[in-house]
Structure 1
Amino acid sequence: MLKPLPQLPKKLNDSSNNLEQENKKASYYIQEHSFNDDDVEESEEFLEYDTIPLNEFEDLEDIDEDEDLEKAIRNNNEQTFFGAEVTKNDDPVVEIAQKPEVIDDFIRNFLCSKGLVKSLDAFQNEWYEMQHKGKLSPEDVSLVPDVYQRNQDLAEVLKKSRIEVENYKKIANNARATYDKLRKERDFHRMHHKRVVQEKNKLIQDIRRLKTHYENYEPTLKILQHKYEISMKEKMLTKLERDRLASKIVGLENSGATKQSNVAASVKSSKQQKTKKNILEKNNTQLQQPFQQKESSFPVEDRQNPYRSPGYQESIQPTKIEKLKLIQTIKAHELTISAINFHPKKMILATVSDDKTWKMFAFPSGELIMSGEGHKDWISNCDFHPRGTHLATSSGDHTVKIWDFTKGLASLTLSDHTQPVWSCGFHDTGDFLISGSMDHTAKLWDLQTGKCRQTLRGHADSVNQVGFQPYTNTIFTGSSDKTISFWDSRTGLVNQTFYGHLNSINDVVFNNFGEKFATCDADGVVKFWDIRKSSVELESINFGPYPVNKINFDPSGNILGVAGNDGLVKLYNTVEKSKSKNLDYNNGNSLQGLIFDKTGEFLVICSSDCTFKIFQA
């Protein structure tokens, strides 16, 4: 059994005297003790055994079996000191300690690091010579003092720290630049936000002021509306009283005529006719001559189209689009010009506008000839009577008006539509008029009676364009439901429907020969069709992405003009299947109308800048 003593023994002797002296100085001594089998069995019952990992015995493989006492004591101390940590940690972390340098190695490493090769050679020669002669003391060959080693470690740490400081400075500079940039952006957005808030507050104040301002008009409008209704009632009562008195006068004259001679009767009858004529002129709300009071009848269906006469098509040359030049720009209205049209017999151009007026100009001089007012809302379209004596205008006030040039007044107002009217067009005989409205219907009007002859129902959305196929009794309608329908004007039934557009149809136009027609829609797509063939399109061209508002053929039918919201006049040759140059003189203002004159020499466009422009080839 081993017991610790104050000092470890340096040497063991066999003699007892030396053993006692050495034991006083030794750290351990050996005491003999004998064990019986019973003692061993009893002691084993109270012993606790710990499991020793197998890897602890791997280091003991190279230990000699015949170890001396000093080695046994050292092994026992190591197991006692490190045993607890080994049992607690299954996988101990091995730490590698740096071995301190001796003085001569320290000097050599220093000289090598500084590149002092000659000094290193001289030092080694002298050092080995002194070491060989034994002139070196034990202090000279001992380890380098800790302070020098510590200084060397601190120098390396300082060097690394300086590098890290430089890196941190760069990171800090980048962070500072990023911070300055973000701060500037923050200031900019803050200023922008303040400006938006100020504008918002200003708009809110303006809206409140306008609401207050318009609230003051509400009572006035109600009073005016009430006065207007009272005036209309009084007007109707006055008309009825006037008619009653007129009929009474006529009855008195008739009764007096029986008592007089035939001559006096004839004189009175002439006065009676004059009186009746005056009454009819005052109360007439229908169109005057050349229209009559009886219903009109449709002409023969297969009548001759003058544009299809032999030699006519060869005599008309296509418009020379490469020579078209702008010759005049005329401001005609105060608001957008919505449509233009040529007089059928004279060089006169008619324009209608959102300012509720229509005007006629001498062409191409641009001198104002006549203007008219009477609609209560914007005017959408216009068309001349085939004889050139009247002008039809459609409006957002749900009406179509027929204007008599001799009187400068509306001689007939057609008001059966319940929504704004987009389009109107005369029949080639001049006895009928077709109109299309936002109320999803088209109406056929008999101008001799001033009444609706047929109401064409079938479209699922607004009817944007209407007209007659040239020199036929067939009506065409283009609608926002993406279809074009052809109707029998006698029965009011659909003969044929054309499908193919993917958006609202804005215009439908025939060439003069009445065989082919073109359509355009809000996607900027233009399609060509042949009425004689099936309802399959002949050709489709995309002039988008802006909507196409108006298209028109030149007199030859070979050139199609396209006007859209992009402000460009696009010309397409239907024979060569090619696009020609674009005319850009509108400064980006949307085009609302386009038309060629009957000779094909002039092209006229109108736009939202309140002007119309004349191009000459």
Structure 2
Amino acid sequence: MAEAAGSEAAFCLQNVTITDDSKDDYQCEEVSADDEFSLQEEDEDLSTALQAIQEQAEDAEILTSQSVLTSEKSVCEVPEAMDDFFCNFLVRLGMSRTLDCFQTEWYELIERGVLTVKDAGLVPTVYTHNQHLQAENMSLKKDLENYKLAANKTKEALLKMQKERDFHRMHHRRVVQEKNRLICDMKRLKAHYASYEPVLKQLSEKYETMLKQKMLTSLERDKAVGQVTGLQAVLENLDSGGVKQISEAKVHDCTRKKDFEGPTQKALREARQQKIIIAASSSSDPVKDAEKKMGKRHLKDSEFPVDTEVNTYLECAKEHTQPLKSGEYQLSNILKVHDLAVSCLALHPRKDIVVTGSDDHLWKMWALPDGNLLMTGEGHTDWLSGCCFRPSGTQLVTSSGDTTVRIWDLSRRGCILTLKGHARAVHGCSWHSRGDFVASASMDSTSKIWDVNSERCRYTLRGHKDSVNSIEFLPFSSTVLTSSADKTLSLWDSRTGLRVYTFHGHLHPCNHATFNTKGDAVASCDSSGVLKLWDMRKLVPILSIDAGPHPANQVAFDQSGGVVALGSSDGSVRVLRRDAGQLSALRGPGGAVRCLRFHGPRLLLSAGADGRLCLWT
């Protein structure tokens, strides 16, 4: 009841008399037709009409302002009843109990007749005016506080902007100083280069003179060869003996005294010696000549095999001439082999054993198909990128991101040799079928041929313009295949360290390339998921399949060469049957497939980013 009374006390009642409109003294005047016609004539003048509209707008503004003023004035001049004033005052202060008591006593007095409304009177307008001023003062204080807060925020923003301005000024000064210093260095380098120009001119002149001398020497050599040829003809006319007789005559001449040697015999002896030298030079091996040109040979260096060796893998390939259909591969087992991603696989040449290398710096040896752990190798300080068994199966080579290549003896269960020479991470390694040489590919755009016996680098293969991502020996051959991020594949002769041929065709960086068992085809894949097959005899592409858009990480042939498997970053293994041209997908448990291998005619192994090894049969 008190709250209701308080809410009612907030309002005041006023007596207002409404007069009848009919009693107004204002009378309307009629407008004649002539006046309307005159108005229409005036409207025809555009300037007069615009002026009239402007005047009407001004009059309307004046009337509205006057009405606002009169209304405010009327509100202020109307006095407030005394009881309403007291009620409003108590409500504003929150004195509800006092308000209840006041209302009770006030209305009791009025009912008794002790107090009348006339006696109470009205509140003077000055109190109402004070209330309005107080309310206005409160609103002005609130506005002042808001303005102070805004001013403080503006001040903070100004200080922040000043600090940033000072920082940028200081940075600009540093840049200007650095620019001036670089300009001075450039000037000094230009002056230094200008001081070297005379020396370069002298060297170029010396180089030209040396070329001329070389040409003269070659002419003299040709002349001497002509003379030797003439002496050979004379020798053939005088003596028709073979090389064996010449060698005997040489021994006999060496033991003979010079006093008993006449001019004719001396000429014959020199001619025989020249003939033996020419025969020896004509029968020399170009590979050995290349080795002599490359540098002195080490005593423990191994001999590079000839390319006429028989590929023993061809017998296995003939046994499996009928490849399995791609749809027959099914996931038979999953082994958790590493905590981190598996980056490489290697199969033992004689036993059911697989080696896995991982980003956890370890390689592990597992028995197939049960997955029993046989051995663990520790020693690399970074992720493993490749692994390969020696053809005898007694040793293992691994490559790593720590720029080294390590050779492990499985019988000793430890590393026996560390090969250092690459400037950046090593991406792959391969062991020659003879077992004396190891090849490695690196991110420094080079590949190296290592001699295991002499424990040194025999050749550095230079030619790629970007990272070399894979390397592999052609079985029972000295040919090396590399794939690079410069979108090319290259064939190299490991006996000379020279590039033989370059395959062009990929539009994206090549991630991996491999030979088939017969050695007559090459499969490669790139970072856009494109798989290409190349003919080694014609050196042309045979087939190109887009398995993208995810990158293809590794490719592998089966023993027959009729099935190609591709590991993709989308977690699937793509299987291509060459005779049918069909490409199917094998979906694993998940994670990018980074490496895969065929083991025998009926087993496919794949591993990837989830650290698991999948067996497909």
Distance of aligned partners of 1:578 and 1:408 in 2 relative to their CA distance in 1, 3 Å threshold: same
Unaligned runs of 5+ in 1: 1-73, 94-291
Q: In structure 1, what residue type is equivalent to 2:478?
A: N
2:475 alignment partner in structure 1: 470
Looking at structure 1, the residues matched to 477 and 469 of structure 2 have their Cα atoms a distance apart, in angstroms, of 21
Looking at structure 1, the residues matched to 514 and 35 of structure 2 have their Cα atoms a distance apart, in angstroms, of 112
Looking at structure 2, the residues matched to 316 and 516 of structure 1 have their Cα atoms a distance apart, in angstroms, of 15
SS in 1 for 2:324: coil
Task: Choose from 582, 586, 590 the match for 1:583.
Answer: 586
Displacement after TM superposition at 1:307 (Å): 3.1
- Computing the radius of gyration from Cα coordinates, the structure with the larger value is 1
Looking at structure 2, the residues matched to 411 and 561 of structure 1 have their Cα atoms a distance apart, in angstroms, of 34
Given the alignment of the two structures, is residue 452 of structure 1 paired with residue 457 of structure 2, yes or no? yes
The one-character-per-residue Cα deviations of 1:303-362 (angstroms, maximum 9, x if unpaired) are 2112335x9525543134333222221111121111111101111111111111111111
Q: In structure 1, what residue type is equivalent to 2:424?
A: Q
The one-character-per-residue Cα deviations of 1:372-422 (angstroms, maximum 9, x if unpaired) are 100011111100001101000000100000000111111000010110000
Distance of aligned partners of 1:458 and 1:368 in 2 relative to their CA distance in 1, 3 Å threshold: same
Task: Give yes or no for contact 2:317–2:518 (8 Å, CA) kept in 1.
Answer: no
1:610 alignment partner in structure 2: 611
Looking at structure 2, the residues matched to 512 and 579 of structure 1 have their Cα atoms a distance apart, in angstroms, of 21
Displacement after TM superposition at 1:80 (Å): 11
Alignment of 1:554-573 (within 5 A): 554-573=558-577
Name whichever structure is richer in helix by fraction: 2
The worse-fitting range, judged by mean Cα deviation, of 490-499 and 417-426 is: 490-499
Displacement after TM superposition at 1:91 (Å): 12
Alignment of 1:282-361 (within 5 A): 294-308=300-314, 313-361=318-366
Distance of aligned partners of 1:476 and 1:78 in 2 relative to their CA distance in 1, 3 Å threshold: closer
Distance of aligned partners of 1:294 and 1:542 in 2 relative to their CA distance in 1, 3 Å threshold: same
SS in 2 for 1:557: coil
Task: Choose from 575, 586, 595 the match for 1:593.
Answer: 595
Looking at structure 1, the residues matched to 382 and 615 of structure 2 have their Cα atoms a distance apart, in angstroms, of 27
Task: Give yes or no for contact 2:42–2:48 (8 Å, CA) kept in 1.
Answer: no
Task: Give yes or no for contact 1:293–1:448 (8 Å, CA) kept in 2.
Answer: no
Looking at structure 1, the residues matched to 40 and 380 of structure 2 have their Cα atoms a distance apart, in angstroms, of 113
2:443 alignment partner in structure 1: 438
SS in 1 for 2:393: coil
Looking at structure 1, the residues matched to 38 and 366 of structure 2 have their Cα atoms a distance apart, in angstroms, of 121
Q: In structure 2, what residue type is equivalent to 1:474?
A: T
Given the alignment of the two structures, is residue 524 of structure 1 paired with residue 481 of structure 2, yes or no? no
The one-character-per-residue Cα deviations of 1:229-278 (angstroms, maximum 9, x if unpaired) are xxxxxxxxxxxxxxxxxxxxxxxxxxxxxxxxxxxxxxxxxxxxxxxxxx
TM-score (norm 2): 0.52
Looking at structure 2, the residues matched to 604 and 505 of structure 1 have their Cα atoms a distance apart, in angstroms, of 22
Looking at structure 1, the residues matched to 37 and 517 of structure 2 have their Cα atoms a distance apart, in angstroms, of 121
Looking at structure 1, the residues matched to 371 and 422 of structure 2 have their Cα atoms a distance apart, in angstroms, of 34
2:492 alignment partner in structure 1: 487
Unaligned runs of 5+ in 2: 1-31, 51-297
Displacement after TM superposition at 1:459 (Å): 0.7
Q: Structure 1 residue runs of 4+, over 4 Å off? A: 77-84, 89-93
Q: In structure 2, what residue type is equivalent to 1:304?
A: V
Distance of aligned partners of 1:601 and 1:491 in 2 relative to their CA distance in 1, 3 Å threshold: same
The one-character-per-residue Cα deviations of 1:535-593 (angstroms, maximum 9, x if unpaired) are x311100000100111111111001111111001111101111123x221223x11111
Given the alignment of the two structures, is residue 553 of structure 1 paired with residue 557 of structure 2, yes or no? yes
Given the alignment of the two structures, is residue 422 of structure 1 paired with residue 427 of structure 2, yes or no? yes
1:541 alignment partner in structure 2: 545
- Report % sequence identity: 41
Looking at structure 1, the residues matched to 43 and 577 of structure 2 have their Cα atoms a distance apart, in angstroms, of 100
Distance of aligned partners of 1:609 and 1:295 in 2 relative to their CA distance in 1, 3 Å threshold: same
Q: In structure 2, what residue type is equivalent to 1:572?
A: L
SS in 1 for 2:42: helix
Looking at structure 2, the residues matched to 448 and 83 of structure 1 have their Cα atoms a distance apart, in angstroms, of 121
Given the alignment of the two structures, is residue 85 of structure 1 paired with residue 46 of structure 2, yes or no? no
2:391 alignment partner in structure 1: 386
Alignment of 1:375-414 (within 5 A): 375-414=380-419
Alignment of 1:100-249 (within 5 A): none
Distance of aligned partners of 1:418 and 1:316 in 2 relative to their CA distance in 1, 3 Å threshold: same
TM-score (norm 1): 0.52
Task: Give yes or no for contact 1:319–1:554 (8 Å, CA) kept in 2.
Answer: no
Displacement after TM superposition at 1:518 (Å): 0.5
Distance of aligned partners of 1:606 and 1:87 in 2 relative to their CA distance in 1, 3 Å threshold: closer
Paired residue total: 339
The one-character-per-residue Cα deviations of 1:109-166 (angstroms, maximum 9, x if unpaired) are xxxxxxxxxxxxxxxxxxxxxxxxxxxxxxxxxxxxxxxxxxxxxxxxxxxxxxxxxx
Alignment of 1:34-113 (within 5 A): 85=42, 88=45
The worse-fitting range, judged by mean Cα deviation, of 300-309 and 407-416 is: 300-309
Q: In structure 1, what residue type is equivalent to 2:343?
A: S
